[in-house]
Structure 1
Amino acid sequence: MTRPLVSVVVPNYNYAASLELCLRAMREQTYRPIELIMVDDGSTDDSVAVAERLGVRVVHTGRNMGVAGARNIGAARTRGEILVFVDSDVAAYPDAVEVAVGMLAENPRLGAVCSIHDPEPLIRDSLVEEYRALQYYYWTASSEGPISFLFPALVAMRRSVFDEVGPFNTRLRETEEVDYGHRLTQRYDMVLTTAMRSRHDHDDRLFTLLRKLFRRGRARVPLYARRKRFARGFETSNRAGGSLAALAAVVTLPAVALGPAGAVLPVLALAVSILADLGMYRFVLRRRGPLFLLYYGTVHFVVNVTIAAGVVAGVAQWFCSARFRRLYDSELLVRPSATGEATT
């Protein structure tokens, strides 16, 4: 029986440091047949040279469009029955594509299969990256199963599903995955699974991570305001409450000047924030010990405050800007063509 062609699309912008690991991992997949392309989104480093040295076909966006636009162009320039999107800072395990294709074949209602990254980063650069790898792993692994929140760093779907759901929203630079997951799960199921494994080169600088999380928190507000519920998996109401509690601990901290009674509010808010993710802290303690847990807890508190601050900023912008409220309007999507903005 002829196996379906799998088209692997690797969007890339200045990730030469991890790109070779990503492309080599896709070249070493146990599944065949595969076509592999790297869509370069205006990189200024030697990413293109890395891909060409490995014999990987390169497609250029012509201008920096963001990862959503790069994925759309890649999908339009390939011909496989199955699409696999893998970010250029992710290295898939050799059987990742094989597993995903098998799961899609077994269940016609399954629209997409998303990978769970290992708790160890692809490239060990800093303690911040160690934190992020553990935090991201726990939040995803504890959400394993049916989800409505797309994880596009490594995801497989039928081309027919992609064509039906439509392209990624190129107006969204930070939250295209939440929007796409919402649209896809209106018609199909979607799962997150540890059977499809990978490693991720997470952000290794705290400011970079915090800036990204703030922007994502802000940009999610219009979609969640419209849906009136959180996505299924990962961003749970419990974790949202933990982030808001962390921000409340900071906001009420001046009350400590009033004496012991005033200290109750920030201490209580901090306790609520910790309890919201107690299982995660236990996981980190077992894996890395108490000293690292102290560092981890401090960074995670800052992360929680940043996420909540982003949401507060998003709520304020939602009330003030009609354009912001329309950020996720589907009628504004533009469908790419194989001869559109891309050049080779």
Structure 2
Amino acid sequence: MTTPAPLVSVIVPNYNHASSLPLTIPALHAQTYAPMEIVFVDDHSTDDSVAVARALGVEVRSTPRNAGPSVARNIGAEAARGEILLFLDSDVELPPDTVARAVQLLADDPAAGAICGSLDDVPLARDSLVQECRCLQAHYWRISSLGDVSFLFTAICAMPARVFAELGPFHEGLRQTEEVEYGERLSARYPIRLTDAIHGRHRDDHLLWPLLRKVFHRCRLRMPLYARRRRAAKGFETAARMWGSVFALLATLTLPLPALTGPVGALLPAALAVGFVASDAGMYRFVLRRRPRLLPAFLAVQWLLNLAIVAGAVAGAVQWFCSRPFRHLYENGPQPTRVPA
């Protein structure tokens, strides 16, 4: 007797991605796998997301107020009926065989707590040079970290519903680092696999200042977690990449040296700049092969991103020393799922 295929609940949290939904929702309707349900949760968007989603044929659930992706995902998981939960960001477009591949990957690897997918090197919508650079970085960092990781990459992430029930909901007190905290809990019990067998096109940040601000705050908010475990995440964030941020800061601080000491003073910032590139040399070689004309802009964006990272780390360290609530940011555990209005 044939075992029936498991129902997959695709949980799509959304906030202000109305312009992406005409690409991402039809891609879900085009999936080759069945049975499947779409659980779309709007996090109190201020654009036309709800109207667009309904026009595209999905039922919309809503958070009672803008509360962050943790709350939206928890509401979606509470409503889901599937044996497999597939969390998907609303600005990610999937190839038609993605759900089928995710189900097969979980079936082939019953020990896994979650299977996370990678992001393509070409963005969903080519809005800006910044977005092109950001998508290349996101793509390379994932494909260079394939295997077991301690992050939960929630842009595309499939997991058995029983594992989610065992771990509990996403931490609703966290907005920017909820996937890091959840990955910590999950990887302590089950392996998290990062694979390029499932992937999608992502609409990343297209404006430089909001991107730098987001990176700054994400790094700042991770400091209590890093201080508690005294190590970075497994995969993705490497010691060499952390040194790259330090090299970028030191090179920037030493830029005035040539004006003070003459041409010899240029040697130090130049050496630090070389160290910055060497810290993630594989990524820059990848960009040179894939998009050579983009390399100068890519280097500039990466330089600024690394300055934002080190600034966030410093700010987070200061806040950790000065604020007791900040030190215990991750220690309260996940909060109960909130019921939508």
Same fold (TM over 0.5): yes
Q: What is the correspondence of 1:1-344 to structure 2 with a 5 Å cutoff?
A: 1-256=3-258, 257-289=260-292, 291-329=293-331, 331-336=332-337, 340-343=338-341
Q: Residue by residue, what CA displacement relative to the aligned partner does 1:287-342 show, whole Å, maximum 9, x if unpaired?
A: 122x421111111111111111111111111111111111111x342121xxx431
Q: Could you list the structure 1 runs, at least 4 aligned residues long, displaced by more than 6 angstroms after superposition.
A: none
Letter aligned with residue 38 of structure 2: L
RMSD: 1.2
Residue ranges of structure 1 left out of the alignment (5+ in a row):
none
Instruction: Report how many residues are paired.
Output: 338
CA distance in structure 2 between the partners assigned to 1:262 and 1:322 by the alignment: 43
Residue ranges of structure 2 left out of the alignment (5+ in a row):
none
CA offset at residue 261 of structure 1?
4.4
Letter aligned with residue 281 of structure 1: Y
Local SS of the residue matching 2:20: helix
CA offset at residue 133 of structure 1?
0.9
Local SS of the residue matching 2:19: helix
CA distance in structure 2 between the partners assigned to 1:121 and 1:137 by the alignment: 10
Question: Structure 1 residues 253-262 or 27-36, which shifts more?
Answer: 253-262
Q: Residue by residue, what CA displacement relative to the aligned partner does 1:217-251 show, whole Å, maximum 9, x if unpaired?
A: 11111111111111111111111111111011112
Q: Residue by residue, what CA displacement relative to the aligned partner does 1:95-143 show, whole Å, maximum 9, x if unpaired?
A: 1111111111122210101111110000111111110111111111111
Identical counterparts, % of pairs? 53
Letter aligned with residue 342 of structure 1: P
CA offset at residue 146 of structure 1?
1.0
Local SS of the residue matching 1:168: coil
Local SS of the residue matching 1:247: helix
Letter aligned with residue 283 of structure 1: F
Local SS of the residue matching 1:32: coil
CA distance in structure 1 between the partners assigned to 2:333 and 2:195 by the alignment: 32
CA distance in structure 2 between the partners assigned to 1:110 and 1:136 by the alignment: 23
